[in-house]
Amino acid sequence: MERLTSPPRLMIVSDLDHTMVDHHDPENLSLLRFNSLWEHAYRHDSFLVFSTGRSPTLYKELRKEKPLLTPDITIMSVGTEITYGNSMVPDHGWVDTLNNKWDLGIVKEEACKFSELKLQAETEQRPHKVSFYVDKSKAQEVTKELSQRFEKRGLDVKIIYSGGMDLDILPQGAGKGQALAYLLKKLKTEGKLPVNTLACGDSGNDAELFSIPDVYGVMVSNAQEELLKWHAENAKDNPKVIHAKERCAGGIIEAIGHFKLGPNLSPRDVSDFLECKTENVNPGHEVVKFFLFYERWRRGEVDNCEAYTASLKASCHPSGVFVHPSGAEKSLRDTIDELRKYYGDKQGKKFRVWADQVLATDTTPGTWIVKLDKWEQSGEERKCCTTTVKFTSKEGEGLVWEHVQQTWSKESEVKDDSTWII
Ligand code: GLC
Ligand code: MG
Q: What is the pLDDT of residues 238-271, one digit of tens each?
A: 999 999 999 999 999 999 999 999 999 999 999 8
Instruction: Pick left, alpha or beta for residue 348 (phi over 0 → left; psi -120 to 50 → alpha; otherwise beta).
Output: left
Mutate to test the pocket of ligand 1, among 122, 123, 162, 170 (most ligand atoms within 8 A of CB): 162
What's the whole-model pTM score? 0.96
The ligand whose atoms approach the alpha carbon of 160 most closely is: 1
In this prediction, residue 277 carries a pLDDT of: 56
The pLDDT > 70 percentage for the chain reads 98
Q: Which atom of ligand 1 is nearest to the CA of 162?
A: 6
Pairwise CA distance, residues 400 & 199, whole Å: 38
Query: What mean pLDDT do residues 378-398 have?
Result: 91
**170 Cβ contact list (under 8 Å, min separation 6):** 78, 79, 80, 128, 129, 157, 158, 159, 160
pLDDT digits (tens, 9 = 90+) for 209-221: 999 999 999 999 9
Residue 280 pLDDT exceeds 70: no
User: Does residue 279 have a pLDDT over 60?
Assistant: no
Nearest-CA residue for ligand 1 atom 6 is 53
The ligand 1 atom at the shortest distance from the C-alpha of residue 120 is: 9
Q: For position 56, what pLDDT does the model report?
A: 98
Distance 363 CA to ligand 2 centre (A): 41
178/78 Cα distance (integer angstroms)? 10
Q: Decide if pLDDT at 158 tops 90.
A: yes
Look at strands 130-133 and 118-119 and give their pairing: antiparallel
Site residues for ligand 1, CB cut-off 6 Å: 53-54, 58, 78, 120, 124, 131, 162, 166, 168, 205
* CA separation for the pair 293, 185 (Å, rounded): 41
Average of per-residue pLDDT across 222-229: 97
Q: What mean pLDDT comes out for the span 55-68?
A: 97
Ligand 2 centroid to Cα of residue 55, in Å, is 13
Spacing, Cα 53 to ligand 1 middle (Å): 4
